[in-house]
Chain A
Amino acid sequence: MIQAENTENHGCKDARMKKPNVGLFVTCLVDLYRPNIGFAAIKLLEQAGCTVEVPKGQTCCGQPALNSGDYANSRDIAKQVIETFANFDYVVGPSGSCIGSIKTHYTELFENDPEWLGKARDLAKRSHELLSFLTDIMNFDAVQSTFAAIATYHDSCSGLRELGVKKQPRQLLGKVNGLTLKEMHNAEVCCGFGGTFCVKYPEISTRMASDKVENITESGAEVLLGGDMGCLLNISGRLKRLDSSVKVYHTAEVLADMTDIPAIGDGEND
């Protein structure tokens, strides 16, 4: 697992050490559709003993351009991200796919540029997906949350396969009062979002999302949790269109006890 390479431990219980300074990488979808996840991330990081800043200059990580094969624009965006987050001990984001891009793909963009390759590697070392950062780097387990529900967990592809995020969210969710986790069949299979994929091939995407909804329904869960807003938006949209009553939340919202707003995809009046 990639996180295991980082043996530094700023554990919150060790008061002698300076609090790690975390730059929160908010991500586009959280900024635009679900700021609550960003605030939940700040709350959790602070509970874990970090100081958190949200640098203003931040933008998209460039993943849509990168995955569309537009390396020139991806490179420009990456440089901007690298500079914005240059002075933090850690860069943490509530998304396996955005952090996956920063951590595993930025270096590919600068293969022929030693100066920026060095900077990209440095950023990659300091970057972490939120839930795995809390467990693997901060040894955080003091979850203070109550959420009475039967939930199932969707493993988002990039977090799972690029970053090894699998047991960390389950470990943390196990500490939530009243929450029961029930695994669904094919939790690790893509939900059909795939960034631009769902726009270019809507019929195939819809079919994959319907398969996901079928597995969620069969699990008997009332709530779907995950760690990536792209997948959660996609799945919640499909759940709605198939008249499901299953509610969707980001794991950070549940862990931070910030679920007193309408679920993802539910309007204020639902």
Chain B
Amino acid sequence: MQPSSHNFKQNAKVALADKDLQIALAQVQEGFINKRARVVDKLAEFEQLREQGKQIRNHTLEHLDYYLERYEQAVTKLGGHVHWARDSEEACKIILDICQQAEAKSVIKGKSMVSEEIGLNDVLEQSGMDVIESDLGEYILQLAEEPPSHIIAPAIHKTKDQISDLFVKHHAQYGYSERQTTVPDLVNEARAVLRQRFLEADVGITGGNFLIAETGSNIIVTNEGNGDLSCTLPKVHIVTSGIEKVIPTLDDATAMLRLLGRSATGQEITSYTTFSSGPKRPGDLDGPEQYHVVLVDNVRSKMLADEFREMLRCIRCGACMNHCPVYGSVGGHVYGWVYPGPMGVVLSSMNLGLEETKDLANACTLNGRCAQVCPVKIPLPDLLRNLRRQQKRNLTAWQFVTG
């Protein structure tokens, strides 16, 4: 997507004056902050668990090459294929090739931020494929033709009224002309429309919350079950993930899952925790015929070697943005790229460069609430301060050049 991070200041003013956005953002307090606080209070060892999560992620990053190769071997043994993509362009090309070889007309997607990062939907659609987002939030945004504004609640910026309007406009063609106004009715209508699309899909694309090196399994966590259907119904399943998402063992996965649900949605465990381990085996009742994993680098291997390495511990829970008072005031779109909030400031700066993103690192009070809730203890304020330092260095170098 075309970044608009350079317009942060102007976009923030617009967001502050947007009444619907402000109503929608007010949900963050109860829906995320209070729910997380209650579930964390119930788990006496949560702080030790955070330390364990940090250690697991640090250990993996320390030996990332080893665990990625172990993971590739395990996936291959299961009959799957691992593909390595240096950047977004390569990743999209690999996925497009797989879809074209499968003669795909229709692609169904589970939620994947990496697919947003690489701009996958546009590439597939330009090649004539029908791409359908099956996560309810992503589906709403696909109808609205908007990018996500939150990494786990992509349509958090929409009010219920706005969603009702979108469904009336887009679902009439399927015979749903009545305007639904309650959440259960809206969900049921979306479910009914999407069910047919699942059945028609030739390829299913999902993200990966954790890749387990020991078993070659991919874990996704969802609350809608759309991820399961995207994995199991189509004849081809493609997993898109960043190279940093690997963890060593199933034991490690259980620790990480205890952190993820609580930190993300304030749930002890999400409704669905789905393990995909290769294609359908002889005798299996369901599952895809082909199983592909596309591992994307983009700037990750560069980050591994620099001062921003700690950011690679991130497990994409969204707690930092939920607890960020700046995000809470202006929402996610203002950050201007795929990843918003504190974690997004670092990732956007790494991916887009300091010139495009110079406002992002400064638009932070360094209040530290993000670091306090991060399940893997990423020192986000320190990373943001370091970004300001890099900006200052660049500025000094420029002043030297221009005399």
**Which residues from chain A sit less than 8 Å from chain B, CB to CB?**
66-71, 157-158, 160-162, 188-190, 192-197, 200-201, 203-205, 207-208, 211
Contact = CB atoms under 8 A, between A and B. Distances in A.
Interface string B113-154: 000000000000000000000000000000000000000000
A67 B368 contact: no
B9 interface: yes
B190 interface: no
Interface string B198-223: 00000000000000000000000000
A69 B390 contact: yes
Which 8 residue pairs across A and B have the least CB separation, nearest first? A194-B365, A69-B388, A69-B389, A190-B367, A157-B367, A161-B368, A69-B392, A207-B329
A192 B388 contact: no
A189 B364 contact: no
B369 A189 contact: yes
Interface in B320-356: 325-326, 329-330
Contacts of A200: 362-363
A160 B368 CA distance: 9
A71 B389 contact: yes
A197 B392 contact: no
B78 interface: no
Contact of B365 (A160, A193, A211): A193
Given A70-B392, A161-B372, A207-B16, A190 B365 contact: yes
Given A70-B392, A203-B16, A194 B364 contact: yes
Nearest to B334: A204
A116 B386 CA distance: 21
Contacts of B362: 196-197, 200-201
A157 B371 CA distance: 12
B163 interface: no
A92 to B, nearest CB: 22
B301 interface: no
A157 B364 contact: no
A26 to B, nearest CB: 22
B164 interface: no
Contacts of B369: 157, 161, 188-190
B186 interface: no
Main secondary structure of the interface of A (DSSP, over half): helix
Nearest to A207: B329
B156 interface: no
Given A69-B385, A201-B9, A208 B329 contact: yes
A194 B367 contact: yes
A68 B363 contact: no
A157 B365 contact: yes
A200 B367 CA distance: 16
Given A189-B325, A203-B16, A204-B329, A161 B391 contact: no
25 contacts: A66-B385, A67-B366, A67-B385, A67-B388, A68-B392, A69-B386, A69-B388, A70-B392, A71-B392, A157-B367, A157-B369, A161-B371, A189-B367, A189-B369, A190-B365, A192-B365, A194-B366, A196-B362, A197-B363, A197-B364, A197-B366, A204-B12, A207-B16, A207-B329, A211-B325
A60 to B, nearest CB: 17
Nearest to B12: A204
Interface of B: 9, 12-13, 16, 325-326, 329-330, 362-369, 371-372, 385-393
Contacts of B387: 69
B366 A69 contact: no
Contacts of B365: 157, 190, 192-195, 197, 205, 208
B262 to A, nearest CB: 19
A200 B12 CA distance: 12
A242 B245 CA distance: 48
Contacts of B366: 67, 157-158, 194-195, 197
B16, B325, B329, B392 interface centre (most CB from chain A within 10 Å): B325
A42 to B, nearest CB: 29
Nearest to B387: A69
Contacts of B364: 194, 197
A190 B364 CA distance: 10
Contacts of A201: 9, 12, 326, 362-363
A71 B330 CA distance: 30
Contacts of A70: 389, 392
A23 B365 CA distance: 29
A71 B396 CA distance: 12
A158 B389 CA distance: 20
Contacts of B368: 157-158, 160-162
A69, A193, A194, A211 interface centre (most CB from chain B within 10 Å): A69
A199 B260 CA distance: 36
A190 B365 CA distance: 8
Contacts of B325: 189-190, 192, 208, 211
Contacts of B367: 157, 161, 189-190, 194
Contact of A203 (B12, B371, B393): B12
Given A190-B367, A207-B329, A211-B329, 16 more contacts: A67-B388, A69-B391, A69-B392, A71-B392, A157-B368, A162-B368, A192-B325, A192-B365, A196-B362, A203-B13, A203-B16, A204-B12, A204-B16, A207-B16, A208-B326, A208-B365
A68 B12 contact: no
A14 B215 CA distance: 64
